[in-house]
Every structure is written in C-alpha cells, then in structure tokens.
C-alpha cells in the first residue's frame, strides 16, 4: 500500500470528487493542507480577504453549476468566521465542504491559542461536522463528507483537522479508491397514483415549484407535468427561473415580499396545491391560516423532516423530486391524460396584474432600474442578489427564464452574501455575464472581497441601488413603529458631534472637490447626488472602475460600459430615497405602492 501524508490523500480525494476551485485563507493551523494543494497544483485556490467572503464564494460557485463548493480556513477565528456561511448553506440546501485547521490534539480542550471546538459549534447548522482524531481516518471522512453533502437534501459539512493529524503519514492508494455511491429515494408508486387522482379530481389544481426542484435538476420534468395536465404553475422565490417567467402556464410567485400579484391571486383561488421541494417558510406563506385556507396539499420532499413541519399535507411523499416527477409523468402517459387548455387565461392575468416600472422620475425610481435590467440583459445572464428592498424589488420585477440564473440566499439572508457569491458564480460560469444587484448598505458588508475579483481578473457587474438608507428596516420602522431611527446612511448635516463644521466631498460638474458645505446645500445635494460612501472611489481604490448614474435615460449606457469593460464594474445608481416595496403580513393583504 503506498504511503503519503494525510493531506496528500485529502487533496487526491478532492481531485477525484471533481473539485477544481477552493476559496480560502491560509493560516498557521491549516498549512500542511495548503502544502499539499501547492505540491499537486491541480486545484485552483483563490485567496480571499475574509473567511465569510470565502464561504460565500464557495456558495455562489455551488449554486451556479449545481456542484459542491469548497472553502478552507485556519483554526480559531478563521474557522468561526465560517458560521454564517454554513448556516446560509444549510437552510438553502447548498452542498459546501468547509475545511478548517485546528491546534494539535494534545491542546484540544485546554483553551490553547486559536483552538475553538468548531465541530461542536457548527453541529446544528451542518449536515455533519467532524474533528478528525486519527490521520488514517482522513480519506474515509472526506469520502463520506461528499456522500452526505449530495445525498437526500443537500447541505454543508465541516471537516476540522488538527495539525498533527494533517502531518500524519498514512497508507492510502488513490488508484483503488472512488467516490461513494449516492442513493436517491424513489417514490412509492401508490402515492404517485394517488397524487394524480387528486390532481384530476381537483376543481382548481395548482403546481408549486420549490427550490428543491432546481437543486434536483428536475425543472424540465416539472414543466412537462404542468404542460400535460394544463395546470397553472407558481414558484417560490428560491425557484425563480425554474420555469421561464413568460411560460404560458407560469402564473407568478407567491409570498408576502418576493411575490407577483398574479401569483398570489392564482394561489388564493386554488383548491389543491402539489408542492415539490418547497419548505413553506414564513416569507413565502405569511399568515399560515390564510395560506392554508380550505385547499388541499400534496407535498413532495426528499427530507422527511419537511413533511408536516409548516403545512400538514393531505398526501406526503418523501422522495427525490426528479424521480417523483418522472414517475408522475409515466403515470400520466400510462393513463393517457390530457388536460384542458388554460394557458391563455394564465398569461392574461399575469400581464394584467404586472406592476408598473416605466417611471421617468429623477431621482430614479427603483422600479425603473429593473425595467432597464430586464430590457438590457439577456436570458443567459446570471443574477445574484441578497436581503433588502433591493431583493424584494428584484424578486417582484426581474424576469428570469432559466434555472441557476438567479442566485439568492433565501433562508438566512446575510447582508454581504451577494458580492462574494457573484465572484464564485463567475468563476463557476466564466462564459456567462454575472450581475450583482445590491443595496448601498449590503454592499458594505463584504466589500473587502472586491479586490479578490480584481486580483484574479474575475469580471462582473455590480449594480448598487443607492438610496442612503437601511431601506427594508426604514420601511418596517415607518409602518410598524412610527419612527425613522438609525437607518440613515447619507449625511444630512455638516455639524459634527461637538458642533463643528466638517469637511465634506462635493460633486459638481463631474469634478470632486473637498470643502465645507452648508447644511441646506448638503440636503439638496444628498437628494440628487447621494452622500456617504463613494462606491466608485472604492472600486478605483481596489484597482477597478465604475460610475454613478442619476438619470434613468443613462442606465442602459452604463450597463453597456460595464459589460464591455471586462473588469469588475460598480454602477452606483442614485434612487428615490423613500420608495416602499409592496408587502404585507398575509398573501391576501399585500399593500401595494405605485
């Protein structure tokens, strides 16, 4: 049996599992692993600026092409900086392998330098976490990790490696080792037959596409079922793009935030819902009594823990989404079922209830930005967005036609996720235009990762919706607490804490000058130009470029310059400050703002 270091074996396994990129930061506790990465030289490593950025890059990479994302960090704070990313991946069912260094085994439990029990910390937010205690266990732990990440409901795994385990020499022959088989749970034929019976008997059946359909690469089968039965389709936010936005049977999205009016109305009129790969989370359902109503539910999910957790189904099917939809197709064809055409009325309702976007206002209305996005970018563009009013407008207004072309963190919603995720997505899909849609506050959370894109020449377009607010919280404060407190990002006054005048940046005729500006002038300028963080200057400081847009007629030209630049390009769009997004507490009581 050949001998090699445990980390050489680990890297060989990563190679055989198809890993081509790792996002991470080397540190003293993980250097033996990095030495093996260097010696083999087959896996590309990208040096990040913060471990949270690294794991979000791995996340975006995984979502973009449906594979495992891999990230690495040193021990202690390096490892604990992965927590938010692991939680995000767990709730959204994203397979991520987080590899962390650890102090030597003899120092565990002794409060040694950078020796935190990361495996215990992340246990609730991973499918499994390991602290490997024997070098000989390394190959089998890595193999099992890939099986666990992929099998059933996907999710993250963390492997913690003490330094002396990393340095250990083991017997391992990569020529006789291979990935473990992945079991996919088939549906019970009787349940499939009953599901079809219920659909055919229902007065107003509806198909609900959840994010699990996208993860299972089952969108084609889902749409085929809808077309054969002529049943309208609605999608959760996590399934955006799983069916083309303009498909004749696509009624829209359901939710109390990321919704369409036609989607909510169609759902409320339904009598039975076949939901595949959906979690029925609170942002989707809103008030559960309204959502449940008197309608029946058939729920298909590979995770038995999802069945009955939020909605008690009339029929629960614990099985793989793709296998279940394939079985349903076979049952439909066996019975030679053909549904009555409903396409025309679905499309008409979708068009009738579409929200207004053709605003010409200055400052720019955010809805106009999304009109320009829909008109300029083609169906092959990959969009990435994250929490905030920017995400809600995006979910309501963007028109996406293909699965894995709209990447969002729906369950955890960590600000800052989208910038590093955009980098990961572009690394995964170098042939695609990648566009990040972010708010001005969210940009500032993981903005330290922009130099990574510059350093490794990873071009993407970053569209900043800049209204100088924590706008989602501003809206919540306004309607729920009657206040506007600690949500301002633009500077409304030139007066410092001690009452002194402060030097400020003024923008005039395209030239930047420093001077003292009186408060009334500053207030006017803030409305028209924006204040606070200068995103274009930050891009320039990182070694790339961008521009500010204040006129809606200039948006498309800015998009063109960004795409043609071939570099990470930041477009700072100054939007109307207090535009609200349509939302509510239940899907039958959405407050519209137009």
Instruction: Note the pLDDT tens digit of each residue in 54-90.
Output: 999 999 999 999 999 999 999 999 999 999 999 999 9
Whether residue 573 is predicted with pLDDT greater than 80 in this model: the reply is yes
Nearest residue to 53 via CA among 458, 370, 374, 368? 458
Confidence check: pLDDT of 524 > 90: no
pLDDT at position 114 is 78
Question: What's the confidence (pLDDT) of residue 293?
Answer: 93
Rg of the chain, C-alpha, whole Å: 25
Per-residue pLDDT at 399 exceeds 90: yes
Is the confidence at residue 221, as pLDDT, over 50? yes
Give, in order, the Cα–Cα distances in Å from 65 to each of 51, 62, 152, 214, 217.
Answer: 22, 6, 18, 11, 10
Residue 323: phi, psi to the nearest 5?
-65, -35
- Mean pLDDT over 220-245 rounds to 96
pLDDT in tens, 8-26: 999 999 999 999 999 999 9
Task: Assess whether the region 3-176 and the region 189-352 belong to the same CATH fold.
Answer: yes
Residue 552's Cβ-side half-sphere holds a number of Cα atoms within 13 Å equal to 19
Centroid of chain to Cα 565: 26
Percentage of the chain beyond pLDDT 70 is 93
What residue spans define the domains of the chain?
3-176, 189-352, 366-490+530-574
Q: Is the pLDDT of residue 121 over 70?
A: yes
- Give CA–CA dist 185/304, Å, rounded: 11
The alpha carbon dihedral of 259, 262, 267, 273 has a sign of negative
∠ Cα 192 195 196 (to 5°): 90
Architecture of domain 366-490+530-574: 3-Layer(aba) Sandwich (3.40)
Q: What is the pLDDT of residues 125-137, one digit of tens each?
A: 999 999 999 999 9
Least trusted range by pLDDT, from 28-37, 109-118, 163-172: 109-118
Average pLDDT of the segment spanning 243-269: 95
Report the alpha-carbon distance of residue 205 to residue 498 in Å, rounded: 65
Q: Per-residue pLDDT for 250 more than 70?
A: yes
Length of the chain: 594
**pLDDT for 454 beyond 80:** yes
The pLDDT, as a whole number, for residue 108 is 79
Contacts 24+ apart (CB under 8 A), 104-107: 104/162, 104/163, 104/164, 105/133, 105/162, 105/164, 105/165, 106/164
Q: Where does 394-518 show beta strands of DSSP type E? A: 406-408, 434-439, 461-466, 504-508, 511-515
Per-residue confidence (pLDDT) for residue 344, from 0 to 100: 67
- What is the CATH T-level fold of the domain 189-352, as seen in this structure? Rossmann fold (3.40.50)
Section 174-190 average pLDDT: 95
- pLDDT for 514 equals 32
Q: What string of H, E and C letters represents the secondary structure of 346-411? A: HHHHHHHCCCCCCCCCCCECHHHHHHHHHHHCCCCCEEEECCCHHHHHHHHHCCCCCCCCEEECCC
pTM over 0.85: yes
CATH T-level topology, domain 3-176:
Rossmann fold (3.40.50)
Least Cα distance to 311 among 345, 288, 336, 283 occurs for 288
The mean per-residue pLDDT over the stretch 549-569 comes to 97
Question: What average pLDDT does this structure show over 117-123?
Answer: 97
Crossing angle (nearest 10°) for helices 389-397 and 471-480: 100
Each residue's pLDDT tens digit, 137-169:
999 999 999 999 999 999 999 999 999 999 999
Give 516 or 482, the one with higher predicted confidence.
482
User: Quick one: pLDDT at residue 285?
Assistant: 94
Q: What is the DSSP string of 142-169?
A: HHHHHHHHHSSS---EEEEEEHHHHH-E
Percent of the chain with pLDDT over 90: 87
pLDDT value at residue 342: 67
Burial class (CB in 10 A: 0-12, 13-18, 19+), 348: exposed
């Amino acid at each position: 049996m050949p001998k090699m270091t445990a980390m050489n074996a680990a890297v060989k396994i990563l190679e055989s599992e198809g890993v081509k990129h790792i996002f991470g930061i080397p540190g003293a506790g993980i250097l033996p692993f990095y030495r093996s990465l260097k010696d083999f030289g087959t896996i590309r490593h990208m040096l990040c600026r913060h471990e949270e950025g690294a794991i979000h890059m791995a996340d975006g990479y995984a979502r973009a092409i449906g594979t495992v994302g891999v990230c690495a960090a040193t021990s202690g704070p390096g490892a604990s900086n992965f927590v938010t990313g692991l939680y995000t991946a767990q709730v959204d069912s994203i397979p991520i392998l987080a590899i962390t260094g650890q102090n030597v085994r003899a120092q565990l439990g002794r409060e040694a330098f950078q020796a935190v029990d990361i495996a215990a910390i992340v246990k609730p937010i991973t499918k499994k976490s390991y602290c490997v205690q024997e070098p000989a266990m390394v190959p089998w732990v890595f193999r099992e990790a890939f099986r666990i990440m992929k099998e059933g409901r996907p999710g993250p795994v963390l492997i913690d490696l003490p330094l002396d385990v990393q340095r250990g020499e083991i017997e391992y022959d990569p020529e006789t080792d291979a990935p473990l088989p992945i079991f996919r749970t088939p549906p019970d034929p009787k349940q499939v037959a009953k599901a079809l019976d219920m659909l055919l008997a229902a007065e107003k059946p509806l198909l609900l596409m959840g994010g699990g359909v996208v993860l299972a690469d089952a969108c084609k089968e889902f749409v085929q079922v809808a077309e054969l039965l002529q049943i309208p389709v609605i999608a959760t936010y996590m399934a955006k793009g799983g069916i083309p936005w303009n498909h004749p049977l696509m009624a829209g999205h359901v939710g109390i935030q990321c919704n369409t009016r036609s989607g909510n109305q169609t759902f409320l009129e339904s009598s039975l819902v076949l939901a595949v790969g959906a979690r029925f989370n609170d942002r989707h359902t809103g008030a559960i009594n309204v959502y449940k109503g008197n309608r029946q539910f058939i729920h298909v999910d590979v995770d038995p823990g999802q069945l009955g957790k939020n909605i008690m189904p009339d029929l629960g099917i614990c099985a793989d989404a793709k296998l279940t939809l394939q079985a349903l197709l076979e049952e439909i064809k066996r019975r030679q079922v053909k549904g009555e055409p409903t396409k025309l009325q679905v499309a008409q309702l979708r068009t009738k209830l579409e929200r207004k976007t053709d605003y010409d206002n200055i400052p720019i209305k955010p809805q106009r930005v999304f009109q320009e996005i829909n008109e300029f970018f083609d169906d092959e563009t990959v969009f990435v967005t994250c929490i905030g009013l920017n995400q809600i407008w995006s979910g309501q207004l963007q028109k996406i036609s293909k699965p894995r072309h709209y990447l969002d963190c729906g369950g955890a919603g960590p600000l800052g996720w989208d910038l590093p995720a955009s980098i990961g997505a572009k690394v995964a899909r170098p042939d695609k235009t990648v566009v990040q849609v972010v708010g001005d506050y969210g940009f500032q959370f993981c903005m330290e990762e922009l130099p990574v894109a510059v350093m490794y020449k990873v071009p993407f377009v970053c569209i900043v919706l800049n209204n100088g607010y924590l706008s989602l919280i501003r809206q919540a404060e306004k309607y729920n607490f009657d206040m506007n407190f600690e949500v301002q990002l633009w500077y409304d006054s030139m007066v410092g804490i001690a009452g002194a005048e402060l030097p400020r940046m003024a923008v005039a005729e395209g030239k930047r000058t420093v001077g003292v500006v009186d408060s009334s002038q500053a207030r006017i300028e803030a409305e028209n130009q924006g204040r606070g963080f200068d995103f274009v200057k930050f891009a320039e400081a990182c070694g790339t470029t961008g521009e500010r847009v204040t006129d809606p007629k200039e948006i498309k030209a800015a998009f063109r310059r960004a795409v043609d630049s071939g570099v990470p390009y930041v477009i700072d769009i100054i939007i109307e400050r207090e535009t609200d997004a349509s939302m509510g507490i239940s899907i039958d009581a959405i407050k519209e703002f137009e």
